[in-house]
Amino acid sequence: MMSLQKSVKERFFHALGFEVLAIAICAPLGAWLLGYSLAHMGLLTLMVSLIAMTWNMAFNALFDGAQRRMGFTRTMWARVVHSVLFEIGLILAVVPLAAWWLDIGLWEAFVLDIGIVLFFLPYTFAFNWGYDHVRAIVIARRNRPAAACEV
């Protein structure tokens, strides 16, 4: 039986893996598509990653607090509101940074951010599916009796 509980260490490993792979994909792709150096795009993707992780922790703490105060349950509607508010906050933080860093207008930075969101939708799905699949295999191997492992 697969353990559903994840330790803080595992959650950190999951988030770190997610961000490192995203940077490894986005920095070279962004450099190639937008004509910037890999170092320039790498630093931008690293900054965006740090902002996203920080915002994720802060926003979820705020959302959890709002849930406790207001007493709502996490229905599908609450999750939609959660996702939309999270993305709005991330856009407000990232678009001005990207505009400044890339020396482009806010509209161009916003359009770029929409492209990034469209990348992250399937990326998030694929990464988490793969992570959960590998995690299930690792847990199954750990839970196998010692005698079954001997040849």
Instruction: Decide if 1 is inside a domain.
Output: no
Q: Does residue 24 form part of some domain?
A: yes
pLDDT at 35: 95
Q: Token digits for 66?
A: 């709002």
- Mind listing the pLDDT tens digit for each residue in 74-103? 888 988 888 889 989 999 999 999 999 999
Q: What's the pLDDT score for residue 147?
A: 53
In a domain, 87, yes or no: yes
Residue 145: what pLDDT?
A: 74
Number of domains in the chain: 1
* pLDDT value of position 91: 94
Q: Is residue 3 part of a domain?
A: no
Structural domain contains residue 43:
yes
Q: Which domain holds residue 46?
A: 8-143
Percent of the chain at pLDDT above 70? 93
Is residue 34 a part of any domain in this protein? Answer: yes
Low-confidence stretches of the chain (pLDDT beneath 50): 1
Residue 148 lies in a domain: no
pTM as predicted: 0.78
Residue 17 covered by a domain: yes
Q: Is 78 left (phi over 0), alpha (psi -120 to 50) or beta?
A: alpha
Q: What residue type is assigned to position 79 of the chain?
A: R
